[in-house]
Structure 1
Amino acid sequence: MAFTQTLFQIMPVTIEDISKQLGVSISTVSRALNGKVDVSEATKERVQQVAQEMGYQPSAAARNLRRQRTEKIGFVFNTAISGISDYFAEIIAGATTAAEENGHNIVLYTNAGHSPDELLKLCKAREVDGLVLVWDHVPATVIDPLLEEALPFVILGRRVNHHQASYVSPDNYNGALALMRHLLDLGHMRIGFIDRPAMKLTHVDRFAAYRDALEGASIPFDPSLVIATDGEQSNNQSATYQLLDLPSPPTAVIAFHDLIAIDALEAILERGLHVPRDIALAGFDGLSASLLTKPSITTVKQPLRKIGEQSVQALLCFLANNKQQPIQITLPVQLEIRESTIG
């Protein structure tokens, strides 16, 4: 018996092992463990007791195969996680909580998002029950094939113009509008904007708020105050220098997101300027890194943890109901005023 117990500790216990131990058929053990009505209560109790004593654990793979489920949710990135680590840390905290509370695990895919073909291969493989797409921009050329594959998916952190696509997004327009009104209330008339057009609809919403706030304050739009960047550190700083070198430079600058604002701050300080006395600066996203700079950077805080949580919850709605209509959620954001605008 000692040898048998040691063997059970080394090898996973199967229903065949329980069958041999009890001297009953494998099918009887299986039906007893699954609570079937054609097995007596006495047999069920005996089987379950011996299964517990032997350390039996049901096979998740076998159970999921019967249910045609993996209990896994795929998070698919089309950008390096290292570049959005601060952003992702908050999102994944909310996402994993929502997933685990509902019996699911999260699997990260950092290569499948590099091309539509790779993404479709992932869908066809059915390695996961559904996908959460963490992309800068998800075009219709990606959305339509995904819909045809009938694998549920939700786009995280981005609004899309597709009536059949589901997403959970922050309120980019009203967040940028709040930033602009804050700077206008401080008396700034020339406000620069370091933009990222590659972010598509996020860019559209934030830039629209910039233009609308100027119009609301009866300030003419000056295209020289808007400089595009691709998000690389050197280019973010170059965009800042272009604004500083204007014949009439801005008295305040809004960066498209906090990481750009951090690079802009470094460029401004290198010129020997004081923030905010010489020039005010603001970002967007509410990353913890923007709180650690000197001065700390005024920003719009996204509810990142809630975005992750609600993206998973939305996906679970589709898994529970294959007739679920598209879910499109826009979450409120919060202006956080810090030293870079009022210090």
Structure 2
Amino acid sequence: IGAALLLAVCSFFVFRSSVLEAGFENTYHFRFLFRPLGYITNIWAEVLLMVSGWICLMRRWSVPLQFLCLLAILLSFSRGAYVALGIYLLFALLFFPKAEKLRLWLPAVTAMLLVAVLLPKEMHTTLQMNRTASQQQSTESRISGTAAAWQAFTERPFMGYGNGNYTYAVDAITGQDSTKPFTSIAPSLPVQLLVEKGICGTLVYLFAGIMIAWTLWQHRKKPDSRIIAATLLAVLVKDFAQATWLGTPVLLLMSYILPAYLQRDETLSAETDRTAYMVPAFAVALWVSWNIPSFRFLTDSTLDYLQDRNYDAACACHPEDVQLQYL
């Protein structure tokens, strides 16, 4: 983690130097061109929020690692990341033990002062939130994207369009209209869930969220529980600004491990042990039922039609498949 953070911070200043040498006065409007470790800046900022929580749990070397992590978040110059970071630090100030507050707030204040001194224009532009033309266009794209997503959702409210099909669903509504700003990323996590998974799939995620919140509440006296709660809350807030969580495997993996990490010292009772098997059984049954159309797709002649580029015949086999219709 330390090597990755150091590499990302150093590469940012190489990128900034290139922008300034090209004749531009600051890097704010070019930050989307910077891809630390292969991520676009919005996704990278969300990954860093999750990493910051894990650094709190690590405790060893947490102060220098937190400094690099929080510095990298600030260097993303993402409005959503700044808001999420503010909520994260406020939660820590209110609920973390004194030692954990110092380990987080000391590097946070240092990183803020350093960015404010070295990069005042970029930080000031980010804190303005909605004054520049690019910020206004980004806000408009979220509004138009939400409106298009709602229109798409009303056509398939219960089952949605399927995993990864958000862009296909809204492209015909927004993407083909050159007068409206368009982005392939959903404006928020609830919007993406409703479009791709419908009401049925969204309820599954909502149930999982409630169970995680209940588990955290049961362990609320543990410092680790508060750290995990703050981390998940920060990532959720960031995903309400731009939905990247479902499309970033490393975020999903670290999110799934956090509740398990909290319960690492517990043992299941006999009664709990029996009920514990119901959850994976339900998940497997849901996955099988959810993918029945995909299994049918593999057993019919659709693949032959696609190989022959006979798209009309392939669409006739599966008129409900949004990707085929888009193709």
TM-score range, shorter chain: under 0.3
Larger proportion of strand: 1
Looking at CA atoms only, which structure, 1 or 2, has the larger radius of gyration?
Answer: 1
Give the TM-score taking structure 1 as reference length: 0.27
